[in-house]
Chain A
Amino acid sequence: MTFFDLLQLLDSAFRLATPLLLACLAGLFSERAGIFDIGLEGKMLASAFLSAAVAAITGSVWIGLLAGIGASVLMSLIHGLASITFRGNQIISGVAINFLAAGLTVVISQSWFGQGGRTPQLSGAGRFEPIPWPGALPSRELADAGPAMQLYSELLSGHTIWVYLAVPIVFASWWVLFRTRLGLRLRAVGENPAAVDTAGISVVGLRYTAVIICGVLCGIAGAYLATALQAGFVKDMTAGRGFIALAALIFAKWRPWAALNACLLFGFLQAFALRPDLIEKLLTVKVQVQLLDALPYILTVVILAGLVGKADPPKAGGQPYVKEN
């Protein structure tokens, strides 16, 4: 494997890790506040569909993004209503949201566009375009360039805005959670809501705030899938990314910077799966593509089965808050 191969691999890992990271941070806010959310998948899917559909209709990816965030936040509010206001089971509510999104997106898409559940191909202002850095060479001219130029042009240049924003968003999440009043309260409400309640702060208000932040981040993640990574919505395009993000969240033990690392790992595995030719060069045997495709999911199962150290989730997670003394 050459240096350039590695760069290509990392380049693709960055792009694939971005939606995972956004969804993972979404889950981080929700779960830190005590609301388990296995509906990340459904929210991403809803946002992917609506953002692509609106971008296709209006021709503006930004309007599409707003629509996608709207769809995701709406789903979040349904989850909030069920699990905060009506104190329902958070897992069941999350499952319901996943089913709802999987079904509705295809049905509405078919009814609007009649393309078998797809949205029309996006192009131009309907997509988040790669941002080339000054002086960067296109990929096909890089094979003979020097390593510094390869690094600059292949790995650093030419990503969409969200890839560049990913690290600032991790920093912002960390800062909000650990350096602000809101963060202190969010973390407290996920550990011991009674402490928050007796301090005179609304448990319900805080938890809704958390699920709305979760909805916004999930919305961006979904819109990224359909309008940056791909050029339109296709059925079930999230392909389990919501669950992978959850696994990454557990792997990261609910910490923002660790979430970045975990998502990069998953992104790298996904990138690997796209390059069976590299694996073959590396291992000198042909590996089944299906096996490679399964890698991120196998790691997910391993993590969710608790094989990677003891997870220490927020203590009040999953439990509706009932006032008592």
Chain B
Amino acid sequence: MTAPAIELKGISKAFGPVQANKDISIRVMPGTIHGIIGENGAGKSTLMSILYGFYKADAGEVFIAGQKTEIPDSQAAIAAGIGMVFQHFKLVENFTVLENVVLGAEDGPRLGPSLRKARKQLTELAAEYELSIDPDAVIQDIGVGMQQRVEILKALYRQADILILDEPTGVLTPAEADQLFRILQRLKDEGKTIILITHKLREIMEATDTVSVMRRGEMTATVKTADTSPEELAELMVGRKVLLQVDKTPAKPGAPILEVDRLNVTDAAGVHRVKDVSLTVRAGEVLGIAGVAGNGQSELLEVLGGYQSATGTIRMNGQPLDLTGRASDGQSRRARGIAHVPEDRQREGLIMDFHAWENVAFGYHHDGAYQANRWLMNNAAIKADTEAKMGRFDVRPPNPALNAKNFSGGNQQKIVLAREIERNPDLLLVGQPTRGVDIGAIEFIHQQIIALRDQGKAILLVSVELDEIMSLSDRIAVMFDGSIMGERLPQDTDERELGLLMAGMNGKAA
């Protein structure tokens, strides 16, 4: 029997009082793709960071190809044949591909010979693994799919036999993700060992041979992928049964609430971000906007939310909205019945160093119920209101005095949702509602959005998660490069077609 490519025995790691990894043991066989799945904060990334020498484990041992190996730093991990592709790429943006590959793996003090050697090897690697790339392209000029390819090439250039990929598909289009999985398959066929960390069940099912499930710092199970199902994995991740599909009745669309006509946005840098976008959202329906991040969806939300100027017309309940003047700020938008759950809750939705109750008051701080008299706010009333909202939205812990940053991602999102939804808006703008949110909370947030729809409210949903768009939307619009590529009904389309639209290909099947 061959030795495992990697074996971890009894790994534990604590950050202060938080036990990120608890007595974890795992065996990864050579030449396989091993998935590690778990919710945010389950300890997957910590475990891999220990393996890559980023953190030092409090206890436990690492064996590489049967040999006990100490990994005090990344240099040691690289020497042991481990390569890591981080979720956020570790590339120098104004360097070329070649320079990034060479960085840290130079042959001598002079750069010239190293660069020449790397250029030659890149060509060989490209041929061997079908990873062709222009070595002189500058990183900031190439797409994220290519940037990820550079990260993989970096690892291969350092002769990695074991490749760890941390949430590799988060920034990719479905087509790019498929291509990544073909590359991984190819690497596996060449005898490399691959560890794939993800929270997406579908990827685990498609790409891996074996899967380990982590929950709250512990390894709860390791099973053959062929012997399990998404439902079983979800239950292992969360610790209870989870509804993967949103239960909803067909929409009963009413009158148009939001009408956008030929909207154009040019940002401060002069880039034309939104191009002639027209759309309508009716009462009682969810319009989902799909697209890879950075294709104009954010700017669309910013215009509607009142913090980006634009040209074109937007009507709310039939009356035009001010797009550039005095009444184009967030306060005016709220007054017109628009509530906004922004895409980046930590930057736009909350002030992380402020208390939960202060965050709940933001944007609605002129509310009469929050005022003690003409000059002073009634903090006690805000706190009481916050506590009530926390109860209704199952925010844990339900303590209004905690700072926003002390809540988990899911609970932060519930605070923002509670603040916006409970104002009974006519239109809810919601961006990336479940980004960085664990499965249990996703279920709750989705139910809240559908419940609001069923009260006859209009909802504009922007998400890069295609699954989320498919399960929540009553209609789907796809944005690419600032334009709407097309509109589809969820029952009439599939991920493949949407994926093509997201990549800018308007190949509508007749």
Interface residues of A, Cβ cutoff 8 Å to B: 178-185, 187-188, 191-192, 194-201, 315, 323, 325
Contacts and interface: CB of A to CB of B under 8 A. Distances in A.
B104 A200 contact: yes
30 contacts: A180-B110, A181-B109, A181-B110, A181-B111, A181-B114, A184-B99, A184-B106, A185-B103, A185-B104, A188-B92, A188-B95, A188-B103, A191-B92, A191-B93, A191-B94, A192-B90, A192-B92, A192-B93, A195-B91, A195-B103, A197-B74, A198-B52, A198-B54, A198-B86, A199-B103, A200-B74, A200-B77, A200-B104, A201-B104, A315-B94
A179 B112 contact: yes
Contacts of B225: none
Contacts of A187: 92, 95
A199 B76 CA distance: 10
Nearest to B46: A325
A192 B91 contact: yes
Interface centre among B99, B104, B106 (most CB of A within 10 A): B104
Interface of B: 45, 49, 52-54, 73-78, 84, 86-88, 90-95, 99-100, 102-106, 108-112, 114, 154, 166
Contacts of B75: 200-201
Interface centre among A179, A184, A191, A198 (most CB of B within 10 A): A198
A201 B76 CA distance: 11
Contacts of B104: 185, 196, 199-201
Nearest to B154: A199
A12 B76 CA distance: 55
CB-CB nearest 5 A-B residue pairs: A199-B104, A200-B75, A200-B74, A195-B90, A181-B106
B54 A323 contact: yes
B102 A184 contact: yes
Nearest to A198: B90
A181 B108 contact: yes
Nearest to A179: B111
Given A179-B111, A184-B111, A199-B78, 9 more contacts: A181-B106, A182-B109, A187-B92, A188-B92, A196-B103, A196-B104, A197-B90, A200-B74, A200-B104
A181 B106 CA distance: 7
A309 to B, nearest CB: 15
Contacts of A184: 99, 102-103, 106, 111
Interface centre among B105, B109, B114 (most CB of A within 10 A): B109
Contacts of B74: 197-200
Contact of A200 (B78, B91, B109): B78
Contacts of A180: 109-111
B57 to A, nearest CB: 15
B466 to A, nearest CB: 26
A323 B99 CA distance: 22
A260 to B, nearest CB: 22
Contacts of B73: 200
A286 B75 CA distance: 66
B111 A325 contact: no
A191 B110 CA distance: 21
Contact of A325 (B54, B77, B103): B54
Nearest to A188: B92
B108 to A, nearest CB: 7
Contacts of B49: 325
Contacts of B105: 199
A212 B244 CA distance: 57
B13 to A, nearest CB: 13
Contacts of B78: 199-200
A317 to B, nearest CB: 13
A181 B103 CA distance: 8
Contacts of B88: 194, 325
Nearest to B108: A181
Contact of A194 (B90, B99, B106, B111): B90
A325 B93 CA distance: 18
